[in-house]
Structure 1
Amino acid sequence: MSLLPPLPDEIDIHPGPALLDGLERGPGLAAHRQQYDEPRASSLAELQALVEAVGLRGRGGAAFPFATKLAAAGRGRRALVVVNLAEGETASSKDTALALRRPHLVLDGAITTARALKAREVHVVLPGERPLAAERMRAAMAERTDGVRLVEHVTEGRFVSGQARAVVELIERRPNLPVTAWDPEAVSGVKRRPTLLSNAETWAHVGLLVLRGAAGYRLRGTTSEPGTTLLTVTSRGARPAVHEVAYGSRLRDVLPVSAAGSPGIVGGFHGSWATWPTLANALVSVPGMTSLGAPLGAGVVLLPGPSACCLQVTTDIVEHLAGQSTRRCGPCFNGLPALAEAVRGLLEGTGSRQRVEELCGLVARRGACAHPDGTVRLVRSLLLTLPDEVAAHQHGSCTVSSAQLAGAAR
C-alpha cells in the first residue's frame, strides 16, 4: 500500500508556459542564452522593486514574501546567497526537474541577486539522494563565468536535510541537521551573516523576473496572484510528474483520470488530506487552497487511488517521517515514534482516536524544527477530512475493502 515515491531522479517533466518553456532546447548554457539574453544587472533597490511589483512568494512551502527576505538580507553586511536544491520532501520533484532541465534559470536568479547584494559567492546545496540532479547542476555551474564564485555543498539525503537551519549547519561544516534558532536566516544565518536562502524554484522565478520584467512575468496567473507554480503529481503505479501551472488554473486539469472520485494529499508528506470534491473544484492558489484546508505547501499532490486505504497510506508516511527525524528533541525522539505507533493502532483497530489526538497535542509546536508540526498536520487532516475511514477501522473494517466486497457481490 506504500506510496513512497521510488527513484526520485526518474520523473516526467511536462512543458510549461514560463519556467518550463523551451525544454526542447536542452539544459546547457548556450541553449539557455539563445532563449534568454544575459540578465541585466540590477541594483538592490531595483531588484527589491521588481519582486515587490509581482508579490513574489517563496516556493519552498511557506510561501513567504521574497521581498521581505531580500530587504532583511540587504540591511546587513556581507550577505550570503544560498540556492537550496535539497528537496528533502520525499514526494516533491520540482527542484529536481529544474536541476535536470532549467539549471541556468535558477543560477540567473541567484547570481543576479548576489550581485545586487554585493555578495561574491553563491552557495549551491545539492541533494545527496538525487545523484542525477546533482550531476546536472554541477555541469551547469561549471559553465558559468559570471565573476561570482559558486560553492557546492551536498546534503546527507534525509527528509530534514533541506530544512533552512539544517542547510546553514551543513554550510558551516557541522552535521546536516536542523537546530533551534531565534532569528530568521535572512537576519542571522551562516556565521551569523544575513543569508538569503531559497529553494531552486524560487530562484528560477527570480531569474525569469529579471529576464522578462514585471510585465512579462504578469502574463501568467491572475491580477492578485501573478505567475506560475510547479506541482509534483504522484499517483499509484506512475512516475512522479512535474507540471507548471498558472495561478488561477484548475487543479483538476493536471490530475490523472484514474484519481477521479478518490481523496488525495496536498502539500506533500507534511500536507493535508483533501476530498475529491475539494481537489476537483480547487483553483491553484496559495490563499485559495489554504482557505479550503488544503494548502499548496511544497507543491505536491499525492493520489493513492480508489483501491488504496487512506489510513494505510497515512500510517506508511508517518512511520517514514518518524524514521527521518533528527532525534534531537523530545517531540522527534519520543513523540513521532509514539504517534506512528498510535496511527498504526488506528489502522489495525487496536488503538483509539483519542490517543492519536492526545499525542498530536503533545507533539505540535514543541520541536526544534517544523518536522513534528508537519507530521501532526497530516494526521489531523486525516481525522478531520476522512472520519468515516477512521471510524470503520475502529470497528474492524475498512471503507475500501467494504466497497470492493460490495462490488464483487454485485
Structure 2
Amino acid sequence: MNAPTPVPIPTELSIHPGPALLSGIDAGSSLATHRAQYGDLPAVSLPALLESVDSLRMRGRGGAAFPFAIKLRTASQGRRPVVVVNMSEGEPASAKDSALAMTRPHLVLDGAVATARALRASTVHVILPGDRPGVVEAMQDALAERRDKVRFQTHQADPVFVAGQARAVLELMAGRPNLPVTAWAPEAISGHKGRPTLLSNAETWAQVGRLVLVDEGHYRRFGTDTEPGTTLMTFTGDGVPQVKEVEFGTRIRDVLPPGFAGRPALVGGFHGAWAPWHTLASARVSVDGMKSLSIPLGAGVVVSPPQCPVTFTSRVVDYLAGQSARRCGPCLNGLPALAEALRAVSSGRGGTARVEELAGVVVRRGACAHPDGTVRLVRSLLATFPGEVAAHAEGTGCGPALEEAS
C-alpha cells in the first residue's frame, strides 16, 4: 500500500497580492477583468518573442529552471509544433499553479496562445490536475470564456507525484498510462506524435503572458539586472499554505511566514534540499545564488514541517517510493529499500551505512529523475543534520542536535 503524502493536497490557499503576476487579484479572475487590466492580447512574432525571453534570461518555473528561449527555439525548428500548458502540479507541497488557476488563469492562457500564434501551432493542450478539483473547475470556466483562433484540448492527469513529468504528460496525451518513460530526445525535438512539443508549467506561461502584455521594459522593473522579474513561492507549514510572488534578489527571511523564523526548512519541494536556519536567513531568492548554497529554488516550495527533519524526511521518502512509475530497477526496488533503510534510522533500528550505500546505487541510474531527486533529499538530510540523524539511529530521538543545526 502506498504511503500517504506527509503534506496534504491543499484544499485552502492563502494567496497574497503581488507586484506583477498577482497584481490586482482582488478584482477577480474573469476574462473581462483581465482585459480591463491588460488590454487585448497583441500579436508577437517568433523572432521578437525569442529576443525578449533570451534577453531576460527567462527560465522555466517548473523546477529545472531550464532557459525558455532554448526550448522555444528548438521547438520552432522542424514540423509544426505542439504547445502544452502543464498544470498537473504533482508536488503536494506546491500550490503556485493552483493559485494562478484561481486568480490569473487568463494570464497563463495568454502566454500559451501568444506563443502558439508565433509558432503557428493550431492547438494548445492544457493538462489539469487529478487531485485538485477547484483548479479543474477554475480552468474550465476560464477556457469557456476564450474566443481565440487556436483550439484548446484538456487532459486530466492522474493523482500521482510523477504525473507531471514531461514524458508522463506526453504519455497521457497519447492515451497511455500517465507515467514517465525513457526518451532519447527532448520533447522540444520529438514530443507529442513525434512533433516538437513546447511543454511548460502554468507559471512559466503566465510569465510569458505578462511579458507579451506589458513589454520587456516594464517586466524589468522587478528583480535584479541578472535575474529580472518575479517568481511564485509556496510556503507550507502546519497551517494553510501561502502563495506569494517574490522579486528575484529578495531575502528569503523577509517573505517567510512568522512561524518559519528560526527553524530549518525543506527548500524546493520533495526533491529539494534541507536548509538550516542560518542558511535560509541569509539566502536571497535566486536560481544561481541558491544553487551555490546547495538549496535549489526548484519549483519555489519552502516547507517547515512540525516534525523533526529526520521523521519528516522518512515520511517523504516512504511516499516517494510509492509514487514511482515502477518501470526501472532504481524505482521498483531501490526506492522502497532506501525508504526502509531511512525508516530504520528514524526509529532507532539501524545506522546510516545502508542508507548511504543505497543512495549510491540508486542515483543516476533511473529512467527518469525521480530516483535522483529522492536521493538529493536524503543526502541533504544526512549532510545538514548529522547530529540529529545520529541521535535517531541511536534511539534517542529528536534532541538538541536540531537546535544546533538551526
TM-score band w.r.t. shorter chain: over 0.9
Aligned to 1:98: 100
TM-aligned CA deviation for residue 385 of structure 1: 0.8
SS in 2 for 1:284: coil
After superposition, give the CA deviation of every residue in 1:128-166 in whole Å (9 maximum; x if it has no partner).
Answer: 110110110011011110111000000011000000000
Indicate how the Cα distance of structure 1 residues 402 and 228 shifts in structure 2: closer, same or farther if over 3 A, else same. Answer: closer
**RMSD, aligned α-carbons:** 1.4
Aligned to 1:341: 340
Question: Matches of residues 164-243 of structure 1 in structure 2 within 5 Å?
Answer: 164-236=166-238, 238-243=239-244
* Stretch deviating more after TM superposition (193-202 or 2-11): 2-11
Indicate how the Cα distance of structure 1 residues 54 and 402 shifts in structure 2: closer, same or farther if over 3 A, else same. Answer: closer
Aligned to 2:391: 392
**Preserved contact between residue 4 and residue 91 of structure 1 (Cα < 8 Å):** no
**Preserved contact between residue 3 and residue 313 of structure 1 (Cα < 8 Å):** no
Whether 1:47 aligns to 2:49 is yes
Aligned to 1:408: none
Question: Matches of residues 10-409 of structure 1 in structure 2 within 5 Å?
Answer: 10-236=12-238, 238-305=239-306, 308-400=307-399
Amino acid at match of 1:46: A
Q: Percent identity?
A: 61
Instruction: State the distance in 1 between where 2:6 and 2:98 align.
Output: 17
TM-aligned CA deviation for residue 352 of structure 1: 1.8
**Preserved contact between residue 9 and residue 96 of structure 1 (Cα < 8 Å):** no
SS in 1 for 2:189: coil
SS in 2 for 1:81: strand
Q: Which runs of no fewer than 5 residues in structure 2 stay unpaired? A: none
**Preserved contact between residue 86 and residue 162 of structure 1 (Cα < 8 Å):** yes
Amino acid at match of 2:301: V
Instruction: State the distance in 2 between where 1:245 and 1:403 align.
Output: 29
TM-aligned CA deviation for residue 8 of structure 1: 2.0
**Preserved contact between residue 130 and residue 156 of structure 2 (Cα < 8 Å):** yes
**Preserved contact between residue 166 and residue 187 of structure 2 (Cα < 8 Å):** yes
After superposition, give the CA deviation of every residue in 1:183-237 in whole Å (9 maximum; x if it has no partner).
Answer: 111000001100000000000000000001110100000001000000000112x
Q: TM-score normalised to the size of structure 2? A: 0.96
Q: Which runs of no fewer than 5 residues in structure 1 stay unpaired? A: 405-410
Instruction: State the distance in 1 between where 2:33 and 2:360 align.
Output: 52
Q: TM-score normalised to the size of structure 1? A: 0.95
SS in 2 for 1:229: strand
Amino acid at match of 1:52: D
After superposition, give the CA deviation of every residue in 1:299-336 in whole Å (9 maximum; x if it has no partner).
Answer: 1000024xx22100001100011111111111111011
Structure 1 runs (4+) deviating above 6 angstroms are 401-404
After superposition, give the CA deviation of every residue in 1:77-109 in whole Å (9 maximum; x if it has no partner).
Answer: 110000000101111000000011100000000
Amino acid at match of 2:276: T
**Preserved contact between residue 5 and residue 240 of structure 1 (Cα < 8 Å):** no
Instruction: State the distance in 2 between where 1:200 and 1:206 align.
Output: 10
Instruction: State the distance in 2 between where 1:395 and 1:343 align.
Output: 13
Indicate how the Cα distance of structure 1 residues 403 and 61 shifts in structure 2: closer, same or farther if over 3 A, else same. Answer: closer
Instruction: State the distance in 2 between where 1:60 and 1:403 align.
Output: 31
TM-aligned CA deviation for residue 403 of structure 1: 8.3
Instruction: State the distance in 2 between where 1:156 and 1:310 align.
Output: 29
Instruction: State the distance in 2 between where 1:5 and 1:221 align.
Output: 30
TM-aligned CA deviation for residue 398 of structure 1: 2.5
Instruction: State the distance in 2 between where 1:224 and 1:177 align.
Output: 36
SS in 2 for 1:75: coil
TM-aligned CA deviation for residue 261 of structure 1: 2.0
* Stretch deviating more after TM superposition (105-114 or 7-16): 7-16
TM-aligned CA deviation for residue 256 of structure 1: 2.2
Instruction: State the distance in 2 between where 1:64 and 1:7 align.
Output: 26
SS in 1 for 2:215: helix
Instruction: State the distance in 2 between where 1:336 and 1:323 align.
Output: 8
Paired residues in the alignment total 400
After superposition, give the CA deviation of every residue in 1:53-72 in whole Å (9 maximum; x if it has no partner).
Answer: 21100000000000000000
**Preserved contact between residue 107 and residue 204 of structure 1 (Cα < 8 Å):** yes
Instruction: State the distance in 2 between where 1:67 and 1:39 align.
Output: 20
Instruction: State the distance in 2 between where 1:400 and 1:296 align.
Output: 29
